[in-house]
Amino acid sequence: MYEGMIEQLENEYPEMVAWRRHFHENPELSFQEEKTPMKIAAFLRDLGVDDVQEAFGGRGVVAKIHGDLPGKTIALRADFDALPIQDAKDVEYKSKVPGVSHACGHDAHTSILLHTAKVLYENREHLQGTIVLIHQFAEEQTPGGAKPMVEAGCLEDVDVIFGTHLWSTFPEGSIFVKSGPLMAASDRFHIHIHGKGGHGALPQETRDPIVCGSAIVQSLQQVVSRNVDPLESAVLSFGAFESGGPFNVIPDTARITGTVRTFSTDVQAIVKERMDEIVRHVGKAHGMECTLDYDDGYPALINHEKETQYVQQAASELYGEERCRDMNPMMGGEDFAYYLQQKPGVFFFTGAGHPEAYPHHHPHFDIEEKAMLQASQMFIKLIEMSNKEGSPNG
């Protein structure tokens, strides 16, 4: 029965492309999504789905398709927000919104889930259990949309959850996955330096925040190399150092911002503690007050072992073992992690690259659209596998 659904997706592919391009032309930023969730809800209701909830956890949409056969409750998630990046591609479906574009593939994720839902709904007499469709807002900007959607109950009664991300630099037609830690916790920090400004010709009368800030940057470079176990992973990077004005004036203040990426909560705690100590004591050594504001971002995304095996088996059966590839963990963040903290599941990558592919968040970003079909086929196959007798959650 599921084989027929997978075949039916081939017929949906042209419409899948058309809807992806519609969303691509009409992007909306995180926490500003208005028309996109309305369009999603209307699509599902037009299919006949009568269990559609809007404004879920904020701007999310959650719908349920009830199969006629007994089975598990399986959630599928797609995100739909865009980025504050000017679309520089020369294509007919270029963004119509100045300074905003789908430079990460969330337009495709949305179309994938909508057309997967269409096939599932049209075959509900053969469908086992209940499928929960989670259309999530604001993945790109913390605090993100996943956490409030979970808190609002989108995972209630769910047995397992699956999600995928199309990836423009992975070869089209391949599935990438890894059990355990896959994507890092993504934290932000702000360092505030309060000195005493004055004339650049009279530095002895000042407390120079630029010199102090430079010392802090240099000292913090040792946090990972001298405090974190070399067998663990951590990244501490600086994104901005803001201070000053006229060339001959020593400023009063400076501000440094950056990010920390970790997989282990123990490592995260070590990094936070040492950063705070170094910032305060380096500041004291320079005769000024320095403070660290540390903002926890998305937690590390940790895939569950059995569900990872489902992805590996599904990809091998659909496309051949050579097209299912193990991947190394990534230091990027993803708020799908919140779902996996609550329920068994897996997040995998679907290759969507081509010879001239640009990376994610690039003004020329685009995807090989055939990857949408493969991602949708994987979702249907994973529903089938999760409902098989003897599956780990059944």
Query: What integer is the mean pLDDT of 169-190?
Result: 97
Query: Residue 355: its pLDDT value, please?
Result: 73
Share of the chain above pLDDT 70, in %: 98
pLDDT bin (cut points 50, 70, 90) of residue 284 is: very high
The answer on whether 165 is annotated among ligand-binding residues is yes
Whether 382 shows a pLDDT value over 60: the answer reads yes
The answer on whether 104 is annotated among ligand-binding residues is yes
Distance between CA atoms of residues 103 and 95, nearest Å: 10
Query: Residue 375: its pLDDT value, please?
Result: 98
The answer on whether 199 is annotated among ligand-binding residues is no
pLDDT bin (cut points 50, 70, 90) of residue 394 is: very low
CB 279 within 8 Å of CB 183: no
The answer on whether 102 is annotated among ligand-binding residues is no
Query: Residue 389: its pLDDT value, please?
Result: 55
Distance between CA atoms of residues 394 and 390, nearest Å: 6
- The hierarchical CATH code for the domain 185-298 is 3.30.70.360
Query: What integer is the mean pLDDT of 115-130?
Result: 97
The answer on whether 140 is annotated among ligand-binding residues is yes
* Cis status of the peptide bond prior to 143, with omega within 30 of 0: yes
181-199 pLDDT, tens digit per residue, is 999 999 999 999 999 999 9
- How do the domains of the chain map onto residue ranges? 2-181+300-386, 185-298
- Sequence-ordered alpha helix ranges (H) in the chain: 2-25, 35-47, 106-122, 146-151, 209-227, 265-285, 305-319, 337-342, 370-386
Q: Which residues are catalytic?
A: 81, 139
Distance between CA atoms of residues 53 and 121, nearest Å: 17
* 2-181+300-386 fold: Aminopeptidase (3.40.630)
